[in-house]
Amino acid sequence: MTKSIAAERPLAGIRVIELARVLAGPWAGQMLADLGADVIKIEHPDGGDETRGWGPPFITGADGKPLSAAYYHATNRGKRSVAVDFKTDDGQAVIRRLAATADVVIENFKVGGLAKYGLDHASLAAINPKLVTCSITGFGQTGPYKDRPGYDFIIQGMAGFMSVTGEPAGQPMKAGVAIADVFTGIYAVAAIEAALIRALKTGRGCHIDMALMDVMLAAMANQNMNFLATGKAPRRLGNAHPNIAPYQVIETADGHIIIAVGNDGQFARICALLELEALPADPRFATNAARVENRAALTGLLSEKTRRWQRDDLVAACETANVPTGPINSIADAFADPQIVARAMRVDLSDAAGNAIPSVRMPVMLDGIAACADRPSPGLGEHTEEVLAELEAG
């Protein structure tokens, strides 16, 4: 069982104002809350963050009433919710007073969208020079697309991700999770923490410009370099790896497994296990480069053998032979996996009414302590009176 990070929060004392909705901005805010920051989520009194209604499924309380959609709870753990309408003068005044006490503002409005309310970085930095503002948009603060709305699905397509995802003869595919949003939230946290360190040293804040398009392109990693090295755009390979073989899904008698061979020694061991001892000396397969070139032939030879094995038996045999492998789990299987259970990745957090809200902790351990906030996502406006009272108290 992991310990709570409550006693040792590295970002304790840092205040974050979250003027963000849906996923990328709230994901960054949740990570900061998990690390101990006081994250105040600003929501419109009429409905709040739209993901509160993005269900089913909904989380239900002990009384059977819905406590917002599961989607909302996936990305708002540990925050305080303040319901104000900053299109009004009074609402703008509240945001400015909060910004004067804050270290960070996260916002995901269209470029220039907050300036008309006097809540953009320049306006707030005039009140609080050490303020770090992180603006998250689809395409960034500059460039010909800066005024376009940015949606994760569209970004996955435009940045090239979908061109290398899916079966060669099938449609280009998006990921099963909004990875452009999630990656942007993670990159945003790194940028925010770097800017905070500088602000603590110099007293000078900054404006961070995060674009989903930039992030999705940057996250293409080796696929980017494959193109830059050759001038040829990578293509879809299904579950095969563009640079390594065999590193793929492979068929068994009762399902599929992943075999991830990363060097010649591992290749020799999988060949011995499958009674294909001659393959490592075959010029077509003797090196990784040769195996990539002759991937189709190699896959045929391996599959002929693996189809004779039961899935779990082959996984166990590969583990014994020190060949990297693993099953393809459903999400239900993953949560039941003994490694996930041992690492206590699922946490159940109690709200003020005593409802248990399921959650998945931040995947960070600090000196053996799990980085996870100790309270679930807030109800709409749950902390408005509390936060306003703090402002009055100074």
Q: Which residue, 215, 195, 214, 188, is CA-closest to 18? A: 188
* Spans of the chain below 70 pLDDT: 1-7
Q: What is the DSSP string of 354-393?
A: --EEEEE--S-EETTEE---SS-PPPTTTTHHHHHHHHHH
Predicted TM-score of the model (pTM): 0.91
3-state DSSP assignment of residue 111: coil
Residue of 38, 181, 209, 214 marked active site: 181
Q: Are 8 and 114 part of one and the same domain?
A: yes
Q: Are 202 and 252 part of one and the same domain?
A: no
Q: Are 374 and 258 part of one and the same domain?
A: no
CATH number of the domain to which 61 belongs: 3.40.50.10540
Pull the structure tokens for residue 239: 């579950």
Q: pLDDT tens digits, residue range 46-95?
A: 999 999 999 999 999 888 888 999 999 999 999 999 999 999 999 999 99
Q: Are 52 and 99 part of one and the same domain?
A: yes
Residue 223 lies in a domain: no
Quote the pLDDT of residue 4.
46
Clarify whether 181 is annotated catalytic: yes
Q: What is the mean pLDDT of the chain?
A: 94
Point out the domain boundary residue: 303, 331, 359. Answer: 331
Nearest-angstrom CA–CA distance, 246 and 362 = 32
Residue 303 lies in a domain: yes
Q: Are 251 and 363 part of one and the same domain?
A: no
For 251, other C-beta atoms within 10 Å of its C-beta total 16
Question: What total number of domains does the chain contain?
Answer: 2
Q: Are 86 and 142 part of one and the same domain?
A: yes
Quote the pLDDT of residue 2.
43
Quote the pLDDT of residue 82.
97
Residue percentage of the chain with pLDDT more than 70:
98
Q: Are 48 and 93 part of one and the same domain?
A: yes
The boundaries of the domain holding residue 321 are: 245-331
177-182's contacts with Cβ under 8 Å and 24+ in sequence apart are 178/23, 178/152, 178/153, 179/152, 179/216, 179/219, 180/24, 180/152, 180/155, 180/156, 180/212, 180/215, 180/216, 181/22, 181/23, 181/24, 181/27, 181/152, 181/212, 182/23, 182/24, 182/27
Q: pLDDT tens digits, residue range 239-259?
A: 989 999 999 999 999 999 999
